[in-house]
A and B are shown apart, each in its own frame.
Chain A
């Protein structure tokens, strides 16, 4: 035994050497890490663009593919659309490997993390017609006063009302709630032993609308500070808790639903607060349920809703940034956005398209109106686990201590933001 140990030591040393060489190779040669500071390449020859999208279905994929192909033909470049299975994971691989797709969807919720890490190329200032985008949407893609990317489209929350239940409760067109008190009273009127008055989805992405209506929000995007413990937020959460406690409103699990739209579609609730994506769910799964859509009621501080949006992110490491900006311009023209609206039901992010959109989809006016006064999601970098924790606490909103929820969010967010 003892005679072989020097041999074994030597072999181990060799193995260690080989491993470290392999590690170094991965670190040095494999990835191009230094090129982010170099200027993007000029348009010498046709660019080859990779476009990564998280598609909602065939309609969206086809619409994007067609638009990208049309741009490629016009500009003489080549572009390939890739539909992601898990866009967060695929982008992470690209960023780490130094060869991310040139153009990709970025959700407002993860924008802050990507921008902070330097993965995104800020290009909005060089884009033609950039001032036509809704300012609230651009704010969702702004970090440290720098606007990064062009909003692709957006969704907002509104109040959906079951027509049959509304009539049955003896309510008319004039009774559509415009204040918190009215919302409470119609929800109570609509509550029957078989049907809840209002179902509100769990979590910050629904409850947050009430904070906005009361003039507050979880964080202040401009100063980059947490503002959860402001008295206005406590008031707003108290109001929602009151709705839940009185039985006028329920959370989806209370009526065996996975989300508000399901509770509304199965008619276990007469009203819900959801975004324009509920249209697709209703026409596919519950085509027999008649409903109308109204803007969310005003709170003490006026109108308020939540915006959900994605932008066209261009990779900081992309060698084809100039071509990518030109592709984004083509993809976000008012005409193209209206075509997308028709194809897969999203709302245009350009204010100039609003009038045409309302003309074509008059019943969606309450949704698009939210573009003027809506509030984007929490997009400060590093807050992912903090907002996930908030959501988990909001599950128990009916019985929880409102101050405690807000204080714990405030504490966790401050620790992350300092």
Chain B
């Protein structure tokens, strides 16, 4: 007994020894900075010297209160605007890129397709090009007199000045449908509001400028996710699909009942990575718009950078980062719950049922 436990103890020691380099590196470059930032978010540190120095004041949750509380004023309005923008961004980017990636992967997985290598490279290409370079190209494509507007002109459309257009898509849609007028928004929506923004501002939808960024990001990230789907699709044994077909399933039936369930783990991976990545969008905003026009491309990650590095408001900026972390954590958890294996509980129930059956059986035997 004592022998086995000492062997186990030795194993544990060796285990810790083997993981210690990784633990030290992760701790030093991940855990320590995160904990320092957490501390900063509770102080009035002004960026000078160590945040642990004696002169730095602990302000409790003041920085967080400024983000969500009544006294926040402009800071709260800025932060809520950035959350609104990012919410619409996530709402559009994640489904679009997932659907497009799945579609491209299915196309590439066809056995009939010629030149698969070429298409795979072509679709994957945008993902491996620097996002800064692509952003610059998009800036040129979407200037007021740029290529895109010229091409729209050929079909008789007068394109907007994309990156200078702060009008929200939902506002425009409502205007087009005659629900409201943008120049004279309904007073019911303008007068009331929550968290520093009016209902009218909350309901703006992504602005035209943000839509261009959405388009760009969907285009660039789809390739990576397509590759993940493709790898999963190639794992699916052909025999299974054939068996389903022999059982009388059509193409749609095979896709719905065989392919999609098989892809569920990949789908969870893709949507989770997509969700995390989209809530942290920074590069494109930094390069292309710096939050403008009219703050409609402001995102929490960029706002946090702006408050910290350009305005020395480190505490509030760190608090923004942690609120963003909580949002991402909550949404990723919710997503995991949505994607949980729904067969499992019933399987457990079945097992319990059989266990109970057996129990009662043995019970009667005992009697």
Using a CB–CB cutoff of 8 Å, the interface residues on chain A facing chain B are 7, 11, 15, 18-19, 22-24, 26-28, 30-34, 36, 86, 88-89, 92, 95-96, 98, 110, 113-114, 116-119, 253, 255-258, 316-317, 382, 384-386, 388-389, 392, 395-396, 399, 411-412, 415-416
Using a CB–CB cutoff of 8 Å, the interface residues on chain B facing chain A are 12, 16, 23, 27-28, 31-32, 35-36, 46-55, 73-75, 78, 143-145, 161, 164, 166, 183, 291-295, 306-313
CA distance A24 to B293 in the complex (A): 43
CA distance A172 to B332 in the complex (A): 68
Q: Which residues from chain B contact A36 at a C-beta distance below 8 Å? A: 48-49
Among residues of A, the one whose C-beta sits closest to the C-beta of B143 is A256
Q: Which residues from chain A contact B292 at a C-beta distance below 8 Å? A: 392, 395
Given A7-B12, A88-B310, A117-B46, residue A28 in contact with residue B52 (CB < 8 A): yes
Q: Which residues from chain A contact B143 at a C-beta distance below 8 Å? A: 256, 258
Q: How far does the Cβ of A410 sit from chain B's closest Cβ, in whole Å? A: 12
CA distance A110 to B311 in the complex (A): 7
CA distance A11 to B23 in the complex (A): 12
Residue of B23, B32, B49, B309 near A23 (CB, 8 A) is B32
13 A-B contacts (beta carbon < 8 Å): A18-B27, A31-B53, A33-B50, A33-B53, A92-B47, A92-B308, A95-B48, A119-B47, A253-B144, A384-B306, A384-B313, A392-B292, A399-B183
Among residues of B, the one whose C-beta sits closest to the C-beta of A31 is B50
Given A385-B74, A395-B166, residue A95 in contact with residue B47 (CB < 8 A): yes
Q: Which residues from chain A contact B164 at a C-beta distance below 8 Å? A: 253, 395
Query: How many inter-chain residue pairs (CB < 8 Å) link A and B?
Result: 123
Residue of B161, B183, B291 near A253 (CB, 8 A) is B161
Q: How far does the Cβ of B69 sit from chain A's closest Cβ, in whole Å? A: 13
Other A-B contacts than A27-B50, A316-B48, A389-B74, 16 sampled, CB-CB below 8 A, are A22-B27, A28-B50, A30-B50, A88-B309, A89-B309, A92-B312, A96-B51, A98-B49, A117-B48, A119-B48, A317-B49, A384-B313, A385-B74, A385-B306, A385-B313, A395-B166
Given A256-B145, A415-B73, residue A385 in contact with residue B311 (CB < 8 A): yes
CA distance A84 to B261 in the complex (A): 52
CA distance A251 to B52 in the complex (A): 47
Among residues of A, the one whose C-beta sits closest to the C-beta of B20 is A18
**B27 A382 Cβ-Cβ under 8 A:** no
**A19 B27 Cβ-Cβ under 8 A:** yes
Q: How far does the Cβ of A3 sit from chain B's closest Cβ, in whole Å? A: 9
**B50 A92 Cβ-Cβ under 8 A:** no
CA distance A316 to B49 in the complex (A): 11
Residue of B50, B145, B307 near A26 (CB, 8 A) is B50
Among residues of A, the one whose C-beta sits closest to the C-beta of B56 is A33
**A19 B50 Cβ-Cβ under 8 A:** no
Secondary structure call for the B interface: loop
Q: Which residues from chain A contact B312 at a C-beta distance below 8 Å? A: 92, 113-114, 116-117
Residue of A22, A32, A92 near B309 (CB, 8 A) is A92
**B52 A27 Cβ-Cβ under 8 A:** yes
**A396 B32 Cβ-Cβ under 8 A:** no
Q: Which residues from chain A contact B36 at a C-beta distance below 8 Å? A: 23, 26
Q: How far does the Cβ of B131 sit from chain A's closest Cβ, in whole Å? A: 17
Among residues of B, the one whose C-beta sits closest to the C-beta of A3 is B5
**A27 B53 Cβ-Cβ under 8 A:** yes
**B73 A412 Cβ-Cβ under 8 A:** yes
Among residues of B, the one whose C-beta sits closest to the C-beta of A383 is B311
Q: How far does the Cβ of B142 sit from chain A's closest Cβ, in whole Å? A: 11
CA distance A23 to B38 in the complex (A): 12
CA distance A110 to B74 in the complex (A): 19
Residue of B31, B161, B294 near A19 (CB, 8 A) is B31
Q: How far does the Cβ of A151 sit from chain B's closest Cβ, in whole Å? A: 21
CA distance A251 to B289 in the complex (A): 17
Residue of B28, B32, B311 near A113 (CB, 8 A) is B311
Among residues of B, the one whose C-beta sits closest to the C-beta of A384 is B311
Q: How far does the Cβ of A99 sit from chain B's closest Cβ, in whole Å? A: 11
Q: Which residues from chain A contact B74 at a C-beta distance below 8 Å? A: 385-386, 389, 412, 415-416
**A256 B73 Cβ-Cβ under 8 A:** no
Among residues of B, the one whose C-beta sits closest to the C-beta of A257 is B144
CA distance A34 to B52 in the complex (A): 12
Q: Which residues from chain A contact B294 at a C-beta distance below 8 Å? A: 392, 395-396
CA distance A22 to B31 in the complex (A): 10
